[in-house]
Every structure is written in C-alpha cells, then in structure tokens.
Amino acid sequence: MLKAKTKVHVIPHTHWDREWYFTTSRSKIYLAKQVKEVLETLENNEDFKYYLLDAQASLLDDYLKWYPEDRGRLEALIAAKRIMTGPWYTQTDQLVISGESIVRNLYYGQSIAESFGHSMAVGYVPDAFGQAAQMPQIYKQFGIDTFLFWRGVADNRLKQTEFTWKGSDGSEVFAVQIPFGYYYGGNIPEGEDDILPYLNEQVGKLEAKASTEHVYFPNGFDQAPIRKNLPELINRFNEIDEDREYVLNEPERFLQEIKEAATSLPVLEGELTEGKHSRIHKTIFSTRADLKQLNNQIENFITNTLEPVLTISHSLGHDYPHETVAEIWKLMFENAAHDSIGGCNSDTTNQDVFFRYKQARDLGDNLLELHMRMIAQKINQEETFSFTVFNALPYARKGYVEFDAYLPEKEFTIRDVNGEQLPFTIKEKTELTDYVLNQHIYLNPSKKVYLPEKVYAAKLVVKVNDIPSLGYSQFYFDLKENELGDQPNEKVDAIENDHYRIQFEDDCTLTITHKPTGSVYKNQMIFEENGDDGDSYNYSPPRKDLIISSVGADGTVDVGRNAVEEIMNINLLMEVPRDLEERADGKCSVDMPLSVTVALRSGDPLIHFNVDLDNQALSHRLRVVFATDIASRFSYADQPFGIIKRPVALPELDVWEEEEWQEKPISIEPMQSFVNLHDEGHGFTVFTEGVREYEIIGEHYDTIALTLFRTFGYMGKEDLLYRPGRASGEKIIETPDAQMIGELKFTFAYQMNTGYFDDAELVRTAKEYLSPLAVYQLADFLNGRLIFSNRDEEAKFEKEYSLFEVSPDHTAAVSAIKKAERSDAYILRCFNPYETSKSTVDVKNRTLEAVALNETTAMENITDLSHCQLQTYVIK
C-alpha cells in the first residue's frame, strides 16, 4: 500500500507582540503598515486565500483607531474567513493571571471578532509560557474544542504532535502542538537549488513528529510582514517536491482536516509546563514584583469589589457602566499579554505597563467611589456624618473594615443602624482643617451644614456586625456622646486571639501556638535572602551563592493591643551583599532594614503580615518561609477556578542535563492566592495578594517559601545555571528599574487549621481576604472641590439593603458577580473549590439558569459541581 502524501498546511501569519524590548508605540506604528499591506495583498490576490492575524482582536482596535475608514475592508475579509482573528483580545498568560481575566479576555476578544464577521474557534496560543490546567473547560464554554499551541509539552510525555488534552474538571479538547515554534517556517529560501533541501529538512522534522499525513507549517515570526509571493512559492513547492502536497491554509480548516485523520490519540492531563524543548520561564511569576502586585491587586479589586458594587448600584436604579468597565479590563488585558505580565521587557516598556495599571486603578477607584456615593446620598438618614459599608459577597459578613476618613476633633462613638456601639481604633491621623473646609462649596446656603472646628485625615479600623449579603449597611459617628470608642495601645508580651498565641523570640523568629490543638510551631516567619544571577525571564542562583537568613539578625519588637487588634511591630536589620561580586566573595556591606507588622483580630483565623523594607542591594531574591510538621510529596494551590495538586520535586531533575532540557525542571510554582500543605488531620496555608509564586523546601519538603521579590540587571543573560545556553530576550538591554531599589511593601497571611483540606474552606477564606469591605463617608462638609460637588438627592433608600443571598447550602466558590453584558439580568459565576467533595450552588428565592462563559449559550442547569467544575448562572 502506497504511503499517502504528506499534506503540508502552510499558514501565513504574524505573531504580534504589542510590546517587548520595544514599546507599544513602536509596535502600533508598524502594525498600521503591516495590516495595510495585508488588506492590499488579500484584496488584490485571490490566490492568497488566508492570513492569520495572531488571534488577537486588540490588533483590530489598535489599527482602526488610526484608520477607521478601513473597517469595511476588514469586515469583508474577516466575514469571508480570509483574515483570521479572535478568540483572544490579547495573547494572555495563563498561570499568574486570574481566571476572570482569562475569561474576560476571551469574552471581549471573541465578541469583537464576531462583530467583524467571524471569531476563530481555535484556542490558538503560539507563545504563552505554559498552559493552565483549566483551559480545556474554558475553551469548551466559549465553543472552542480545538487547541493549537507551542510551549509546555516534552517528548517524555508526548511522542507526537496530536493528542487529547484533558483539563482539571475532565473537559477535553483536540490539541495539536506546533513542535518547533510558530516561527519555524518563517524564513523560506527562494533560490531554486535551496528550496528542496530546505523543505526536506524542515518538513521532514515535522513529519517525524506527526501521527497523520497532515503537518502545520507556520510561515511567519515576530512582527512579520506578509510574504506577498507566498502563493507563488507554494506552487513552486508542489512542482519541486513530488512527495508532498502543499496548500495555503489557516488554523480552523487545518484542524478540521487533521482531527478527521487522527486516531487513537494519547491523553495528556493537567497543566502543560515542561521546558524540555521550549522555554517556559517558570520563575517569570516573580519578575518585577512591583508590577505583579499591581496586577493582582487590581484584578482582585475589579472582580471582588467593583463589579459587585456596580451590580448593587444597578439594582437600585443606576446605569451599569459597561463601556467604562470594558476600558478598565482592556487596559488589564494589554498588561496580561505574556511578555507584559511576565515583566520580560525593557525598562521603558515596563514604564508603559505601570502607566496602564495606574490608569486602570484610577478609573476603577473613581468609578467605585461615584457609585457608592450615589447610593449613600440617597439613603434615608438623619445623620449627615455617616459611613456606608458595602459587602460585595453574596452572604452576610462580619469582621473588620479598614478605611480612610475625615474626622472631627471631638470625641465620638461609632454606632451601627441598631445603635450598637462598634469597637474601633485610629491607626494614624493628620490635621487638615484649613485644606478640607476651604474646599467646601455651599450649593444651597439655606441648608444647615455641620462644619467641624477641626478636621483630621485618619485611618480607622472598625469591627462591624453583620453586613447584608451583596448589599450595604450604615454606621455613623455619634458626636453627642463623650465616650471614646478607641482604646490606646496596651503593652503586652505576646499577641493572641482565640486561634493563636504568637511570641517573638531572641533569634528574631516567631513561635506560634495553635490554640485549638495546643501544638507549638517554632522557626516561623524567617526571611531568606540569596543571589539572583538570572534575568527578566528566569531566576537562577549564582554559581557562588550566599544565603542570608533573618535568624539571629539585629531585631527589636514592640507588642501591644487596642480595641480591635493585637499587633507585634518588629524591626529587623539584615546585612546583605551589595551585588553578585560581593556575594561571591562572601561579603555583606548593605543594610536591608525590614519593618514587619504581625496582627491578630478576634475571630479571624488569619495571621496578618505587613512588611516594609528598603532595598539597596542588586541582583537578589527575598522569600519568607514557614516551617510546618508535614513532610510532603505534594503541594496544593489555587489555580484559575479550582485547586491544583503538584509534586514538590519533579522526577525529570535526574535526567534534565543529560537530555539537554532548555530549562531546569524546578518546582517553583504559580498560584492564584494561596499555597497549602496538609494531611488528613491538619494543614498550613500562606495567602498572598502580592507575588503569586511559591516553593516547598526543606529536607523533608515541609516548609513553605513565599517569594516576595527578586531583582536583576539585564533583560537576557547567557548560560544560567537554571537555563543553559543562549540568552532569552535581548542580552544587551540593561534593566536598572528591575533592581527595584528603594522602599518595597508586601502583605500576606498565614493560617493553621485542623481537619481535612476540604473542611478548611481555603478558597472562601482567600476570597474574603482579597475582598475587603468597602466604605463611603457621607458628610456635608466634604461636598465641594475635594471630591467634586454633588447636588442633594431624594433620600429614599433603606439604611440596609441586600440584592440577593446564597443559602446556607451553597458551598461553591464565587468567582464573579456582575450585570449580564446583553440583558438586565445578573451573572453569578461559581466553581468547585474542593479536592474531593462536590459543591452546591443555591441562591435564596432566585431562579438560576446556567449559561456558558459567553453568557448566551444555554447549558445544562447543574447546581452540584464536581472537582474544578466551573458554571455561570443568569439570575432572574
């Protein structure tokens, strides 16, 4: 039987990095030229049937901003499926970006592409640094059942390019790897004597990897111009190479053909993060920790606070600002692109990244303030000196709220709507009487307005009672009382609550007693500093390293308690090497002072840590470690929409050098918000809103190490211990900003729990940790230039309000609450947060209709979710 001819699918494309070692401004200028050439080529040459515009709909936005007159031309070619774009808005990272960011990226990308006539139904990921385990489920819910990618699979697991990829929840997609990269066929020779040897070598390697007669031959590379004579070249290929058939094609049609031909596919499960043949840059999670912190804080703010409060506001009659929210998300998507969020850019590009975060944060903060204000000013109240507390979660919450306020000088108590006095403390205050009162505007001079004699800008912490689910409640300052609700700090030897007792030791470590069990854990909260000989892509230890520990450092402690919390203020002084040269010589000449606050609050299972430090050293890494008593084979962390279990040491470590891996297979791993070690009786968890990177270390793999930051001086370097060979990126580009000289701040939390993992409800705890109660202060004396003046509104809202509430039987984790994009209904997105248990979705007195992630496709109305299952509901 004759062997079928290989069908070589030549895919013309460009991989368009919106920024990298160059800025977005440069990229956009050249994009305009390139897209114009694509339009002209396809319109003037019917043989040039298809062109792949990198699956990023943001490129359409960028181009049409300057050439709006070409929209019709783009629509004609996209509707005819000749220009392929979508389903992404930008080519996002998948491992340190939040699940909601990934979903919204696909939502906006697919919606924009469809508005032009067609969105490519392919999970096309040519260059992201690894693939998240939940992507098959996410793709399927966007109507995508095929996946085309490059990085993340080694031939240790996969001997061919075609396979079935099975996600954490069991969802499956048909997958094809681009084995040698998206740029593999980007340089085609045109000399008659060069073509056949080139094809035999290049296509021959693809044939050796393929399990069918179909191979994917990408003609393109980074920022590639269209190869205008490609159809003519393909005709020459067919004339010269009699053993193969060459066709110009695009991903959808290619995948349809190869899917029909593929049989007996191997199944790969979970995340794809193997760096044998293609670099995964596995420690990119901690590159530019300052930018990572901004990303994580803003992502959490949008989904955990802003969108739910906007939903509450809409339910009370206000417009939902879809386009403003979309603009905020698009700024985040631009920064979520794999290079941008990776931080593996030039300093000038990272300045652009920072500015987009600033824009997104400023827009979000002011949008939230406006809608909280629109609600607060319509509440029927006697007091004009009140505070409205917003709960963005769908169940009642009690606890602590920390916020900035303007206070009078006189003594006061704080009371809730029932008149009950609330404990509080003033953490700091500054007198600003003239500044604040001079900003006041008398819109209605006939109205009596309370103007304090003195005004202080203050930071308060208040312990509040139940705040209604997905709603608000008020508390107010009782200025008629002489009783002072705040209590001055009282000196104590240790801090404690009903969960812990924490003692500062002479060696500058903490000893934590877990009160429910009586277990005592020593050597907690140790800061470990060591060198980083890596670059913007990879952490790599120096060949001559020196590890500096905070154990035995110079340290002082001040311990006290007030009305709402017990606080340990610790000052540590670590002496560290100035640079890698000093480190190699064993010399430490730079002081790195750390100011650490450890706080406990009544009823709170978390130990809260705040770290301020002054970094004056170069090319190093700082981690904080917590020792447990659990010798581990696996770590557990949250991933987008679920839990993931990972080995603490990879078996490939024994063979990676012999097999010449592109990167050392290390177990420095990503998370969304926490990492956990547990057995059947107890567990330990570190939560973070900063860098999403951890490693399990220690002789028995019993210690959790959370990365706080790492610094480096070059975009790319050669011959790293963890990444041998060539430099990634550009080795001549220095990155002094990435040394992060100056003051740095970090927050994280620690928890010990009894019982099994599922009993600890860690995802719920993380959600609450990252979803602080929001507060708006209503006071007539503030109405003016300080916050923009606003007219009086009819006071018709109740002092407490709840939009809806999940029932006590609801055990699923809540990922998003927002108004639906295309109707006046509300969206509730939930997932199973457990390792083994099922979870239930149940909203009191509401009808739920399950829809896909695109919010329009109806799905089976399942309310009992299995492991890592994700479901979106329309609430009627």
Q: Would you please indicate which residues are annotated as catalytic (active-site) residues?
A: 127
Q: Confirm if 377 and 52 have CB atoms less than 8 A apart.
A: no
- Nearby residues of 857 by Cβ (< 8 Å), 6 or more positions away: 141, 143, 851
User: How far is it, in rounded angstroms, from Cα 541 to Cα 720?
Assistant: 8
- Nearby residues of 97 by Cβ (< 8 Å), 6 or more positions away: 295, 299, 336, 341, 640
User: How far is it, in rounded angstroms, from Cα 482 to Cα 486?
Assistant: 12
| Rg of the chain on CA atoms, in Å | 29
CA distances from 286 to 462, 601, 692 (A): 34, 30, 7
Per-residue three-class SS string for 355-366: HHHHHHHHHHHH
Q: Confirm if 742 and 728 have CB atoms less than 8 A apart.
A: no
Q: Confirm if 704 and 696 have CB atoms less than 8 A apart.
A: yes
How crowded is the C-beta side of 150, counted as CA atoms within 13 Å?
Answer: 18
Hunting for tokens 């100056």 — which residue is that? 742
> DSSP of 59-120, one letter per residue?
HHHHHHHH-GGGHHHHHHHHHTTSEE--SBSS-B-SSSS-HHHHHHHHHHHHHHHHHTT---
Among 183, 203, 288, 185, which residue's Cα sits nearest to residue 243? 203
For residue 51, with 0-12 CB atoms within 10 Å meaning exposed, 13-18 middle and 19 or more buried, which class applies? buried
User: How far is it, in rounded angstroms, from Cα 345 to Cα 348?
Assistant: 8
User: Which DSSP category does 268 fall into?
Assistant: E
How far does Cα 739 stand from its chain's mean position?
A: 22
> At residue 434, what are phi and psi to the nearest 5 degrees?
-60, -45
Q: Confirm if 600 and 565 have CB atoms less than 8 A apart.
A: yes
User: How far is it, in rounded angstroms, from Cα 555 to Cα 571?
Assistant: 5
CA dihedral of residues 289, 291, 297, 302 (deg, nearest 10): -150
CA distances from 342 to 87, 134, 288, 508, 641 (A): 21, 20, 8, 34, 21
Q: Which helix (DSSP H) or strand (DSSP E) does residue 436 occupy?
A: helix 433-437
Give me 297's structure tokens.
Answer: 């804080």
Among 109, 153, 391, which residue's Cα sits nearest to residue 269? 153
Q: Which helix (DSSP H) or strand (DSSP E) does residue 413 occupy?
A: strand 413-416
Cis peptide before 87 (omega within 30 of 0): yes
User: How far is it, in rounded angstroms, from Cα 495 to Cα 509?
Assistant: 14
Neighbours of 194 (CB within 10 A): 11
> At residue 12, what are phi and psi to the nearest 5 degrees?
-75, 130
CA distances from 19 to 345, 392, 606 (A): 8, 35, 40
Relative orientation angle of helices 347-376 and 307-315, to the nearest 10 degrees: 30
Output b/e per residue, 215-237; b: 16+ Cβ within 10 A.
bbbbbbbebbebbeebbebbeeb
Q: Confirm if 278 and 152 have CB atoms less than 8 A apart.
A: yes
